[in-house]
Amino acid sequence: MSQFLDFIPKIPVADSVEDAMDLLTDTFAGFFDVIKKSGKFSMEFVTDFLVMIPPVLFILIIAAIAFFATKRKFGLAIFSIVGLLFIYNQGLWEELMNTITLVLFSSVIAVIIGIPLGILMSKSKVAETIIQPLLDFMQTMPGFVYLIPAVAFFGIGVVPGVFASIIFALPPVVRFTNLGIRQVPKELVEAADSYGSTGWQKLYKVELPIARPTIMAGVNQTVLLSLSMVVIASMIGAPGLGRNVLSALQQAKVGNGFVAGISLVILAIIVDRLTQSFNKKRQ
């Protein structure tokens, strides 16, 4: 019986995928190169700018934003000051800025791609049936799987790191946008239609504003997912706190790993609470 199974020759899936990838990278080499160079340039520019800001000023700005975003409560503001001072004290300031840039770029791009995709899904049954399984697939894949195409397209460095993060962080914002728009009460959609709205008017004046809280919940998750990718992205050379965690792991330095890890958690908490409060504020 097992002989019969062995009778079927091995289907060359791996080889075919490799060939396809090669073809892709070869054909679009110029394109990928442009993206890589401009991406690297603009990210370095942002990091340099962030590093240039005096840390005290930076911390105060974040604390002020936290204070006002949480309806003038002191909790998050104080947490931000203490947390950021800790990171500075541990000598991880530049790494923090690199991580912020990475998260900023990957989540902003994920949102820019994700929201229109979610809108498309909510409007078209066909788009939904195509995109839905793709999203399921993307969410079941472990993050580092995306490193493979990232490296193939962009080599190593920060740009492939962002690329992998975008793919990993994309699903929630797409899903929540789709969900948010589909959840707009039928009567309100009918009201918009019955007054003679065009599709765009309906989208801008009714659907997006009403779906906003749901979409923002998706944005929040996307930002956190891209933050969770920083360690993995550092495996292919993205700079930042992730790199410290990774090297601590490789050299079994528990102490260093702990400090870098805590720094990431501090950043995650600040980012999470901030994006959530932006959401609540205007409800």
Partner 1 sequence: MEKIKIENVSKIFGRHINQALKLVEQNKSKTEILKQTGATIGVYNANFTVNEGEIFVIMGLSGSGKSTLVRLLNRLIEPTSGNIYIDGENISKMNKKQLINVRREKMSMVFQNFGLFPHRTVLANTEFGLEIRGISKEERRLKAEKALNNAGLLPYKDQLPGQLSGGMQQRVGLARALANDPDILLMDEAFSALDPLIRKDMQDELLDLQQKVRKTIIFITHDLNEALRIGDRIALMKDGEIIQIGTGEEILTNPANDYVRTFLEDVDRSKVLTVENAMIRPISLNIDIDGPKVALQRMREEEVSVLLAVNKLREFKGYITADDALEASKKGENSVINYVRTDMPIVPPEMYIQDVLGIISDSKTPLAVVQEEKLVGVLIRGVVIEALSSSDENEGVTENVSIS
Tokens of 46: 């942002």
Note the helical H segments in the chain.
2-7, 13-27, 29-52, 55-69, 75-89, 93-123, 125-140, 147-154, 158-182, 186-194, 199-202, 208-228, 230-234, 241-250, 254-281
CB 138 within 8 A of CB 171: yes
Residues 150-189 that bind partner 1 (CB under 8 A): 185, 187-188
Is 130 a binder of partner 1 (CB under 8 A)? no
Under the binding rule (CB under 8 A), the answer on residue 123 touching partner 1 is no
Distance CA 46, CA 21 (A): 31
- Give the one residue of 151, 206, 216, 267 binding partner 1; rule: CB under 8 A: 206
Task: Determine if 204 is a binding residue for partner 1 (CB under 8 A).
Answer: no
Query: Closest CB to partner 1 among 84 and 210?
Result: 210
Q: Nearer to partner 1 by C-beta: 191 or 265?
A: 191
The structure tokens 């580092």 sit at 144
Whichever of 205 and 280 has its CB closer to partner 1, that residue is 205
Which range in 7-15, 158-166, 198-206, 224-232 contacts partner 1 by CB under 8 A? 198-206
Euclidean distance between CA atoms 264 and 181, whole angstroms: 33
d(CA 84, CA 87): 5
Which one of 77-85, 114-122, 143-151, 193-201 is the stretch in contact with partner 1 (CB under 8 A)? 193-201
Annotate 3-31 with b (16+ C-beta within 10 A) or e (fewer): eeeeeeeeeeeeeeeeeeeeeebeeeeee
Output the smallest distance, CB 196 to partner 1, in A: 3
Q: Is residue 22 involved in binding partner 1 (CB under 8 A)?
A: no
CB-wise, 3 or 194, nearer to partner 1?
Answer: 194
Q: Is 209 a residue that touches partner 1 (CB under 8 A)? A: yes
Considering the complex, state which of residue 205 and residue 281 has its C-beta at the smaller distance from partner 1: 205
Which of 182, 173, 278 has the alpha carbon at shortest distance from 215? 173
Closest CA to 270 of 120, 61, 62: 62
To partner 1, the closest distance from the beta carbon of 144 in angstroms equals 41
Q: Using CB under 8 A, which of the segments 74-82, 90-98, 204-212, 248-256 binds partner 1?
A: 204-212
Lay out the site mask for partner 1 across 210-229 (x = CB under 8 A, - = otherwise).
x-x-----------------
> Does 190 interact with partner 1 (rule: CB under 8 A)?
yes
Contact between 236 and 147 (Cβ < 8 Å): yes
Considering the complex, state which of residue 91 and residue 196 has its C-beta at the smaller distance from partner 1: 196
CA angle 168, 114, 221 (to 5 degrees): 55
Is residue 197 involved in binding partner 1 (CB under 8 A)? yes
Q: Is residue 125 at the binding interface for partner 1, with CB under 8 A as the rule? A: no
Q: Which of 195, 254, 265, 281 binds partner 1 (CB under 8 A)?
A: 195
State phi, psi for 156 to the nearest 5 degrees.
-115, 165
Q: How far apart are CA 160 and CA 151, in angstroms?
A: 6
Return residues touching partner 1 (CB under 8 A): 185, 187-188, 190-191, 193-198, 201, 205-206, 209-210, 212
